[in-house]
Structure 1
């Protein structure tokens, strides 16, 4: 059965826009200003292309845009804080000036602080507050914090990750990290959680997370599902990186049916159409119009 999570604060203002997670599934568009991101391989590395990609994703229906300057993978060259700032801040400033809700994918407090000053409304921390100062930076602002599960430090390999019960362990981790964030001054109504598909996990782990997503949504916070084009998609159905759209939409739909309210997706237009249909099926929104068998 579809799952409607018991959200404590479903209506939130993020980056100046009101989101009602009791009635909408938000698609987060992705702009990677890196020459070596796993999916686009540098297609949006140039500043003008990065800003244009954010504009296009917004026009296609993305609720907000996630900007990243450092890939999660440890198998790419290290990026200094100065280089990360040079990559992400101009994109944040350019999009925020046009009223776009922007999040920044970073684990560094110095980058988070500068991004918020430039107009970012969300800090997307894939390290799960490995550096607690990141919570302090968010607490001193009006920004929202995304807390993601990852078992290893940023830029460090976790070879052959093992879990006794991957979902239970992720849930416990997120509860602990949310408690840390709130203790350092981040209100619960400005926290989103993410189980971290593929981050220090193998394909079986990511499939288990997808099947049991409701156990994470049951925590009462909006949950983000970042499944787009990931390795677990390709390995599950034997598809190369450029061929995973339909399979990614299937994974995102299962997550949404089990309580995900934010979907981080590369192909925004198709993802928004899928999200609107899921909303209609769940009864979160009325059909756009009624004509069939109505006369």
Structure 2
């Protein structure tokens, strides 16, 4: 299977470029929600070294409005299809809707990146029959309300347990263990303290034996520490990405591909 063979080369860390084709994403909303702008940005990220392009048609920032199935399909499928035709990078579809997963994989996506960890109706079965790789993310609560009162007794243990349960569900459904990724979900139902507790102990998630996809790029966990606006969080994002790499991350989901690729090269030199 083409996607499986290509996707599984994680012997060295990879970079995933974020392509939000939405008007309201927290960092780049409205910048790439036209076809031409999306294609231009994707090509730039690939030239800068992105191995994955993650296409999202519904913002999951706190308080974002829900998007209908038809609108999400309209936003994402033409982009996925065009990327598949024009470029050699692995295309990821960022969605929790079963129908979007299936249509995106038909159009050329090789990875389903689901913030709900395939818990929505039909999602687990859709992922299985698609044959695509999957990324399971931890989130406490729902995107619209997740940041109101997140609470944990032990955030690292609880995130780890949740991901283990969801990975088991995937395997029992018939999804190959070798095409499952995990994402601790920085910023999804977590306070600033929770986020940094997770980052500090990130290596503990390696005990689950699934590659880790990490997304901290430009998030409030960076901005709140530095007291900087979204557009001024590059250096903080690179610092956080570097820590994640040293603690075992295999894929970094980022806005700033070129700079992150440089960080990956420096960290990779340590074990060369």
Q: Is the 8 A contact 1:27 1:62 kept in 2?
A: yes
Matching residue of 1:189: 178
Where do 4+ consecutive residues of structure 1 move more than 4 Å? none
Matching residue of 1:175: 164
Task: Spell out, residue by residue over 1:57-108, the C-alpha distance to the aligned partner (whole angstroms, 9 max, x if none).
Answer: 1111001100000011252332100000000001100101123310010000
C-alpha change, 1:238 and 1:13, in structure 2 (3 Å) is farther
Match runs of 1:8-47 below 5 Å: 14=3, 17=6, 19-22=8-11, 24-47=12-35
1:252 and 1:13 mapped to 2: Cα distance?
29
1:74 and 1:13 mapped to 2: Cα distance?
36
Moved more, 103-112 or 146-155: 146-155
1:15 and 1:51 mapped to 2: Cα distance?
24
C-alpha change, 1:231 and 1:83, in structure 2 (3 Å) is same
1:244 and 1:92 mapped to 2: Cα distance?
28
Find out whether 1:207 has 2:160 as its counterpart. Answer: no
Q: Is the 8 A contact 1:32 1:69 kept in 2?
A: yes
Find out whether 1:116 has 2:105 as its counterpart. Answer: yes
1:140 positional shift: 1.2
Structure showing the higher helix proportion among its residues: 2
Find out whether 1:48 has 2:62 as its counterpart. Answer: no
Structure 2 unaligned runs (5+)? none
Q: Which has the larger radius of gyration?
A: 1
Match runs of 1:88-237 below 5 Å: 88-98=76-86, 99-131=88-120, 133-237=122-226
1:247 positional shift: 0.5
2:14 and 2:96 mapped to 1: Cα distance?
23
2:69 and 2:127 mapped to 1: Cα distance?
18
Match runs of 1:65-104 below 5 Å: 65-98=53-86, 99-104=88-93
1:96 and 1:262 mapped to 2: Cα distance?
20
C-alpha change, 1:244 and 1:74, in structure 2 (3 Å) is closer
Q: Is the 8 A contact 1:136 1:185 kept in 2?
A: no
TM-score of the pair, normalised by structure 2: 0.95
Q: Is the 8 A contact 1:123 1:138 kept in 2?
A: yes
Matching residue of 1:240: 229
C-alpha change, 1:190 and 1:264, in structure 2 (3 Å) is same
TM-score of the pair, normalised by structure 1: 0.88
Partner of 1:66: helix, strand, or coil? strand
Q: Let me know the Cα RMSD of the aligned residues.
A: 1.6
Moved more, 173-182 or 125-134: 125-134
Aligned length: 271
Moved more, 91-100 or 246-255: 91-100
Partner of 1:159: helix, strand, or coil? coil
2:184 and 2:205 mapped to 1: Cα distance?
8
